[in-house]
Structure 1
Amino acid sequence: MKLFLPSMIAAAILLTGCGSSSSSNSVDNKVTEVHAIKPADVAAYVADYKELAAKLAVQIDGKSSALEMLDFDMEEGVIYIRYDDGIIVLGFDFENEKPKNELAVVRHNDNENALVGEGIELLEQDAEFTLSGVIVDQKTTGQYDFEMVINESLFSGGNSQLVVENNSAFLSGTLGTKTYIQFKELLLDHPSVNRIVFNSVDGSVNDDINMHTGRLIRQAQYTTVMNSDGEAYSGGVDLYAAGVTKEYQPGGKLGVHAWCCEGDKDAGELGKNHSAHGAQLTYFREILGKELGPEFYFFTINAAPADDIHLMTQAEIDKYFF
């Protein structure tokens, strides 16, 4: 269950999560255990991510900065990347999954003026992209050298934050491999934490690792908390469900929908026994039980298509979580 962004950029990439599988609510509990990433392979997967993420960088006029994905807009064909001093707006070919040599830079201290790329060259090597050239200040016509390196880790890492206060950790942002790493560090560095409070979680850009993040939450026996002003969508609901106990205050938003896609179909268009359901069914059996887990999964993928969201009612929250 992936990303739902109720932000100004509504056409976010990978609107996936829970949708419509079949009109039947019957569940086959004999499905073989399935993992998109096998538990034994998670450590190597994370190590590979860290190696790639360490290469993400931009240099503007000789000053270096790390990069973090901020948002996507498929209709406009751009991705938004955060760096130390502002935001980079990068043209992106979503169909072919590669950047364009079109970009602009908006600095925090001058957000009404863009530095626009000119003569940007795009080099692809071993699934890594380097963009280099100059960016031109539209007010002063000043030019600055520009070089940026991006790769797959920019998209799969997410931009989540996990902030510790006393015995609680407050979770916000978009979930991904970075979130898994944050929870591993939380377990090591803050053993007194026993509550995960969901502030605003818009979903996940990496379901495969997100399910293992949920397993960390269950193994640590954390209580997951949704306050009246909190919200969690799609992959965020997967993590909320993983709490060994759960707290919920009326007004908190839990949003579910179909994940996308298997071929050209979202989960709502796949038969109930389709193999693509396997990893999610395995996960929900683990955290909600062999009967309720699959029932909840099929509820979510019937609740809304991949490009929409269903806010769970109090009755649905009570049924599945309490």
Structure 2
Amino acid sequence: MKLFFPSMIAAAILLAGCGGSSSSDSSTTTTAEVHTIKPADIAAYVADYKTKVTENNVQIDGKNSTIELLDIDMDEGALYIRYEEGVIELGFDFDEEKPTSSLAVVRNSDNENALIGEDLQVIEQDAGFTITGRIVDQTTFGQYDLTLMFNESLISGGSSQLVVTNNSAVLSGILGTKTYVQFQDLSLDHPSVNRIVFKSVAGSVNDAINMHTGRLIRQGQYTTVMNADGEAYSGGVDLYAAGITKEYQAGGKLGVHAWCCKGDKDAGELSQKDPAHGAQLTYFREILGKELGPEFYFFTINAAPADDIHLMTQTEIDKYFF
């Protein structure tokens, strides 16, 4: 599966680290260094993200709570948002780049009974969205005022978790700017960690910063680990590839496909000379070498279109990673 987030919400795609070309003129690809986010601008980019995150919150019945992304369902058109006392399911129109008036709240104390949004108003501002109205308990018919405020950082941050156990950190969730911050903190707070274990990594909603997260993995000299019960897709494969050494157990899933899109074409439909490949080519040259890096990149984007996924075979894994 390949999912695209419109530009206002995120500068990238879910499950989208690897892109491609269907042509065979790889010798003509540019070797210029290209970055979607220039290395010199990363500090300011992350600082801006941290500021925006503090503006995301929900107020229910007069009680404020911070919020964070839990999951994304493109098929159902919904964001799942964690808050202090439960989960908010918010309808989202990914084509129009804005929330709908569909909302439900499930509290931790009452996970069998959803509070349904009524008379909701969606206000769009330059900085994001404000949703006001009320939620109604479908059993007691109790009513509670609701105000939900969020900006693009809610989605572009992702939902990743990085859990430290002894000398390993277990990575799961959707990759984004939050992941970059987690790896920054990991190197400072847990210098003894030298292994990144991929548990269940769905991909990236912010490929521009995800490549810099991969650079943190390489700079930190981490070993990346895919166990038999692990899985990583697209942007997750980008990070796995960044390990200074890599471990893999048969059964682990590494899924790749083309990124979407330039105009109406996904990466696999573009000429290899297209400058849209520049940032990915720069990244893969750094982590896999000047020859193998581009070869791997073009393999991934030819392996499956943007709306599909290709699980790498053992032969492919051995070729590119071992």
TM-score bracket for this pair, using the shorter chain length = over 0.9
Alignment match, 2:321: 321
Alignment match, 2:152: 152
Deviates more, 1:55-64 or 1:212-221: 55-64
Kindly state the Cα deviation for residue 15 of structure 1 after the two structures are TM-superposed.
Answer: 4.7
Q: TM-score, normalised by structure 2?
A: 0.92
Kindly state the Cα deviation for residue 178 of structure 1 after the two structures are TM-superposed.
Answer: 0.3
Aligned-residue Cα RMSD (Å) equals: 1.9
Kindly state the Cα deviation for residue 198 of structure 1 after the two structures are TM-superposed.
Answer: 0.8
SS in 2 for 1:64: strand
Residues 76, 197 of structure 1: alpha-carbon distance in 2 compared, 3 angstrom cutoff: closer
Alignment match, 2:99: 99
Amino acid at match of 2:59: Q
Deviates more, 1:163-172 or 1:97-106: 97-106
Deviates more, 1:68-77 or 1:124-133: 68-77
Counterpart Cα distance in 1 of 2:190 and 2:196: 12
Counterpart Cα distance in 2 of 1:207 and 1:294: 17
Determine if contact 1:225/1:240 at 8 Å carries over to the other structure. Answer: yes
Residues 283, 230 of structure 1: alpha-carbon distance in 2 compared, 3 angstrom cutoff: same
Residues 14, 233 of structure 1: alpha-carbon distance in 2 compared, 3 angstrom cutoff: closer
SS in 1 for 2:169: strand
SS in 1 for 2:287: helix
Residues 75, 203 of structure 1: alpha-carbon distance in 2 compared, 3 angstrom cutoff: closer
Alignment match, 1:68: 68
- Structure 2 spans left out of the alignment, 5+ residues: 5-12
Amino acid at match of 2:57: A
Deviates more, 1:74-83 or 1:199-208: 74-83
Alignment match, 1:286: 286
Alignment of 1:127-142 (within 5 A): 127-142=127-142
Amino acid at match of 1:181: V
Residues 15, 218 of structure 1: alpha-carbon distance in 2 compared, 3 angstrom cutoff: closer
SS in 1 for 2:106: strand
- 1:231-285 alpha-carbon deviations (Å, 9 max, x no partner): 1111000000001111111111111111111122211111111111110000000
Counterpart Cα distance in 1 of 2:307 and 2:71: 16
Kindly state the Cα deviation for residue 20 of structure 1 after the two structures are TM-superposed.
Answer: 4.7
Amino acid at match of 2:198: F
Residues 40, 273 of structure 1: alpha-carbon distance in 2 compared, 3 angstrom cutoff: same
Q: TM-score, normalised by structure 1?
A: 0.92
Alignment match, 2:243: 243
Q: Does 1:168 align with 2:174?
A: no
Determine if contact 1:3/1:235 at 8 Å carries over to the other structure. Answer: no
Q: Does 1:118 align with 2:118?
A: yes
SS in 2 for 1:229: strand
Kindly state the Cα deviation for residue 73 of structure 1 after the two structures are TM-superposed.
Answer: 3.0
Determine if contact 1:222/1:244 at 8 Å carries over to the other structure. Answer: yes
Alignment of 1:1-322 (within 5 A): 14-18=14-18, 20-24=20-24, 26-28=26-28, 30-322=30-322
Amino acid at match of 1:262: K
SS in 2 for 1:230: strand
Kindly state the Cα deviation for residue 27 of structure 1 after the two structures are TM-superposed.
Answer: 4.0
Amino acid at match of 1:251: G
Determine if contact 2:3/2:306 at 8 Å carries over to the other structure. Answer: no
Residues 299, 25 of structure 1: alpha-carbon distance in 2 compared, 3 angstrom cutoff: farther
- 1:169-200 alpha-carbon deviations (Å, 9 max, x no partner): 11111110000000000111111111111111
Determine if contact 1:21/1:270 at 8 Å carries over to the other structure. Answer: yes
Q: Number of residue pairs matched?
A: 314
Residues 283, 250 of structure 1: alpha-carbon distance in 2 compared, 3 angstrom cutoff: same
Amino acid at match of 1:71: D
Residues 219, 253 of structure 1: alpha-carbon distance in 2 compared, 3 angstrom cutoff: same
Counterpart Cα distance in 2 of 1:14 and 1:192: 31
- 1:5-30 alpha-carbon deviations (Å, 9 max, x no partner): xxxxxxxx745343551142734454
Counterpart Cα distance in 2 of 1:25 and 1:187: 40
Counterpart Cα distance in 1 of 2:79 and 2:26: 40
Deviates more, 1:183-192 or 1:113-122: 113-122
Amino acid at match of 1:261: C
Sequence identity, in percent? 75
- Structure 1 spans left out of the alignment, 5+ residues: 5-12
Residues 210, 238 of structure 1: alpha-carbon distance in 2 compared, 3 angstrom cutoff: same
Determine if contact 1:133/1:147 at 8 Å carries over to the other structure. Answer: yes
Determine if contact 1:20/1:302 at 8 Å carries over to the other structure. Answer: yes
Counterpart Cα distance in 1 of 2:304 and 2:136: 44
Counterpart Cα distance in 2 of 1:69 and 1:259: 22
